[in-house]
Structure formats: structure tokens, C-alpha cells
Amino acid sequence: EIVLTQSPGTLSLSPGERATLSCRASQSVSSSYLAWYQQKPGQAPRLLIYGASSRATGIPDRFSGSGSGTDFTLTISRLEPEDFAVYYCQQYGSSPVFTFGPGTKVDIK
Amino acid sequence: QITLKESGPTLVKPTQTLTLTCTFSGFSLSTSGVGVGWIRQPPGKALEWLALIYWNDDKRYSPSLKSRLTITKDTSKNQVVLTMTNMDPVDTATYYCALHSTVTTVFFDYWGQGTLVTVSS
């Protein structure tokens, strides 16, 4: 069973700064099967990145994903006020079919 | 326009069985590659995938909860039903259903708003 670890747990930044979030898998994950979601309080998660680096429909280009194997990164180039949220990575595999990471909270410094 | 909406009880007692319904529109669960999944989130905690049903009635479950879960679909009604037996206070969470497709992103592209289920006597 693949376990996803995210770091840091909380990232305190100011608007305009760059955010770098990490997702590490306990076993190698195909890049095609790694995604990132954003979740704001009281809302359902929203798919940001799939296939490790492809932006979902309507996602601004300040969001980018990279990585392979066991190490993946979500980068927000310049934080906008609406980007302060919790971010989850997720993998799609065989068993279990889906695994989520514990999340990284990006809050305002 | 794709929408999903969860419905079911907001309060269940310990040991009872929870039945949740996901009613969707804008896609068909008889289309090849399409699936509907259930994900839950305890208050203040992370997301946890529970179950998934595919267009061909293939079903997948979280290994840790498999013995307690059953997922079914009614294609004619555009509904997916999740049952969870032997509910416990630790099962208190917001339960989401979401659209999955093996021919698009492979992940959960669309989500319902979620429904909060509290387990308490």
C-alpha cells in the first residue's frame, strides 16, 4: 500500500510570495497517476494538477506541478489571496485505488 | 453541466448502518471509463477515499473499510448508493461523492458539496 507524506504541514507566506509544497510517496508512483487538489474551508476539494504536471481545466498558470518516482512538488509562483487553502496530493493505483496525503495548509503570514 | 449531490441522514447512532445516495447529472454511469467514488473527511482532518464503482459495475473499496462498505449504482436513476455498517463516532465526517473517469484525468474532476454525518447516541 502506497503512503503519501506531505511537507511542510503548514506554510506561512505573504501574498506575492512563491509557495513550494512537497509530496513524497512510500513507493514509486507513475507520474500519470499523481494529482494535487486545493480545498478551501467549507468547500469540496478542487482538482488542480493531474498527471503530476498537467493543469486541470480553468486552473491559472501560476500553479505548476513537477516530479517523478517518489518525489513530487506543487509550486504556486505568486500567491494570490484566494490561494490560501489546504493542498492535498493523491495517487491513483491498484490497491488501494486512491490514496490522499495528509495535506499542507498554506496560510497568510 | 456536471453536478453531483449527496443525500442521507445527518445523524446516526453507533452500530447503525449509514446509507448515502449520490444523485448526479451531466454524465452517464453507463459510459465506458466512468466511475463514481466516495471520499470522506472528518472535521479538521484529511481526505480518505472509501469506494468506487465503475460503469461496468466493477467495484473497489478501501482495504481498511472493505468489510463495512457496499457501493451500488442505479444507472436509470443516475444514482450511486454507499452503505457503511456498524457506524462509530470516529466515522463522523463530511462524505463526498465525485466523478472519476479513466479516459480523462483519472482523478476526481467533479465533486458534490458533501454531507456531514454525525455519529452519536
Which class for B23: exposed (0-12), middle (13-18), buried (19 or more C-beta within 10 A)?
A: middle
pLDDT 10s digits, B27-49: 999 999 999 999 999 999 999 99
What CA–CA distance (Å, rounded) separates A5 from A26?
8
pLDDT 10s digits, B99-115: 999 888 889 999 999 99
Which class for B60: exposed (0-12), middle (13-18), buried (19 or more C-beta within 10 A)?
A: buried
- Average pLDDT for chain A: 95
What CA–CA distance (Å, rounded) separates B89 from B6?
20
Q: Is the pLDDT of residue B6 over 90?
A: yes
Nearest to A96 among B47, B62, B107 (CB): B62
pLDDT 10s digits, B46-78: 999 999 999 999 999 999 999 999 999 999 999
Nearest 10 degrees: Cα torsion B94, B95, B99, B104: 60
Label residues A69-99 b or e (16+ Cβ within 10 Å = b). Answer: eeebbbebeebeeebbbbbbbbbbbeebbbb
- Asked if the Cβ–Cβ distance from B105 to A88 is below 8 Å, we say no
What CA–CA distance (Å, rounded) separates A89 from A106?
14
Angle at B109 between CA B103 and CA B111, to 5 degrees: 140
Cell of A107: 496560510
Contact list in B for residue A3 (CB cut-off 8 A) is none
- Average pLDDT for chain B: 96
pLDDT confidence band for A93 (50 / 70 / 90): confident
User: Measuring CA to CA, which residue among A5, A89, A10 is closest to residue A50?
Assistant: A89
Q: Identify any residues that bridge with A21 across adjacent strands, giving them in sequence order.
A: A74
CA atoms lying within 13 Å on the CB side of residue A85 = 20
Average of pLDDT values for A22-29? 95
What CA–CA distance (Å, rounded) separates A94 from A91?
10
Q: Is the pLDDT of residue A96 over 90?
A: no
Interface test with B, best of A57, A98, A105 (most B CBs within 10 A): A98
Q: In whole angstroms, how far apart are CA A46 and each of A40, A50, A59, A85?
A: 9, 11, 10, 11
pLDDT confidence band for B21 (50 / 70 / 90): very high
B35 contact A CB<8A:
no
pLDDT recorded at residue B105:
85
Nearest-neighbour CA in chain B from A43: distance (Å): 7
pLDDT 10s digits, A34-73: 999 999 999 999 999 999 999 999 999 999 999 999 999 9
pLDDT recorded at residue B99:
97
Q: Identify any residues that bridge with A13 across adjacent strands, giving them in sequence order.
A: A108
**What is the percent of chain B where pLDDT is above 70?**
100
